[in-house]
Structure 1
């Protein structure tokens, strides 16, 4: 309980103003049990399938540490049974919200304009990026501390445009003198170009491939059950169950 209550994501959710009722100060702590226990379920999924490497964003690295701690604790008592997973950090360690660039982008945020979804249309992407919170300073510069909103847009372009840029600052050299409005339009174009193949594939599967999806689900279920059963047999034997 102590370990989970110190999780960065849990503490950050406690600080969100959306969780507070001004008439009830204690309401700030009324979060869902699922959010608190999520690292435990994540660790169980990783360990039961004996994953050796797990790609995550920077915000999930603490959860991987928890999974390793669970594996090490179990192995200390029962021998080398579970596989402590290694963390593979994504180059894009953290993507910030479009409306509040001091917070990370999240699908659970109450404002749908705060995030870009993989399935967003080009029009939706352009509207969200155009409405992204920036500042009143003319031009584009990269300064996450002083200009978090603009810098977040630069980061999005840096990570998504192909061929990839050498550094975020190199984007500025190529777009000197561009207004914020023009730069937002450019960023929206880059995001849409990157997501279009994913969106098209998703739409094709959702609207014309129901049987194919069901078949893939059954295959995945079979593979997952076989993998989990193998680990659980070893775990039960080690515990003498």
Structure 2
């Protein structure tokens, strides 16, 4: 039985979305909704793998939703919802907890990084996070997943879980009408975008992150024009002029990062940016970068703030998206339960 192409991806409502999220993922999401059936999720179940203040979590879910829409995700073209409103995510995650092997999860580098030295105090949810991510994708039998490099290992695990499920239940899958024995597709990563790795404004060797203790390390999608300009002016650079070609970036990660951001925001190749600004000092280049960043990010932030002024409308959009998402997952979960051997009413 042929599986139609379907895109799934999501972001956590923990802290404000930042420029790295936008350039590394959302720009690509917006383009993909023009050519694919797309489902975009606010992954609030993932958020609670570490403690969240409930009132702040509700605000953050709405804030991320508002930013999605302000950036260009169309809730009429794509399905846009928050994960906790669709029970299939949690149900399928439990089944996958029983399919995935401990050895697979032990190899996940993100758990080691997030749990740190005191792993015994980490939540079981943080450890089993990749199984839930697999369920997020496969509850829709999604075929393509736009992800950052840091999530590629988790997507490989999702493929392993799908393959093992198909192998373990091959006889039942064929009996259910899937003659090729494939119920879950092996989802493909889509790692593209104008700037797939946007780095910290304070350290060009580290990825821009919500968790960085310095707010000056990132441009938040909620920052106003003055704040954006200030952060760019304070961004770390080196004393040399901008290089005239890309080979000149060797050993200069901050220069490469700022030029890459400018290129992505302005829609130009890096080579063209260097033709225009190569040989100039960072002081003049930062002014140009601040202009393009405040125009693009400031516009999105202003629109998101306007949307946040009507939380009931955001909740309505999420409720509508959740209903549409459930319509996709319900027949999938019915088949899964039959294949596994559960009795359904």
TM-score, normalised to structure 1's length? Answer: 0.83
In structure 2, stretches of 5+ residues that fail to align are 1-101, 171-181
Matched, 1:236 2:341: no
Q: Is the 8 A contact 1:96 1:152 kept in 2?
A: yes
CA distance in 2 between counterparts of 1:63 and 1:95 reads 20
Structure 1 unpaired stretches of 5+: 20-25
The aligned counterpart of 1:37 is 128
TM-superposed CA distance for 1:72, in Å, is 0.9
Change in 2 beyond 3 A, CA 1:192/1:35: farther
The change in CA–CA distance for 1:99 and 1:45 in structure 2 (over 3 A counts) is same
Matched, 1:63 2:154: yes
1:65-117 superposed Cα distances (whole Å, 9 cap, x missing partner) = 11111111111111322222111112322111111221111112222221111
Q: In structure 1, what is the Cα distance between the partners aligned to 2:222 and 2:273?
A: 26
Secondary structure class of the residue paired with 1:224: helix
Query: 2:232 & 2:107 partners in 1: Cα distance?
Result: 34
1:88 match = 190
1:112 aligns with 2:203: no
Shift of 1:31: 7.3
Instruction: Output the CA distance in 1 between the equivalents of 2:159 and 2:167.
Output: 12
Q: What corresponds to 1:23 in structure 2?
A: none
- Residue matched to 2:262: 157
Instruction: Kindly indicate whether residue 336 of structure 2 is the aligned counterpart of residue 222 of structure 1.
Output: no
Cα distance in 2 between the residues matched to 1:48 and 1:127: 43
- Higher RCO (C-alpha under 8 Å, 6+ residues apart): 2
Q: CA RMSD in A?
A: 2.2
Greater CA drift, 45-54 or 190-199: 190-199
Q: Residue 298 of structure 2 aligns with which residue?
A: 196
Q: Compared with structure 1, are the counterparts of its residues 220 and 98 closer, same or farther at alpha carbon in structure 2 (3 Å cutoff)?
A: same
CA distance in 2, matches of 1:35, 1:109: 19
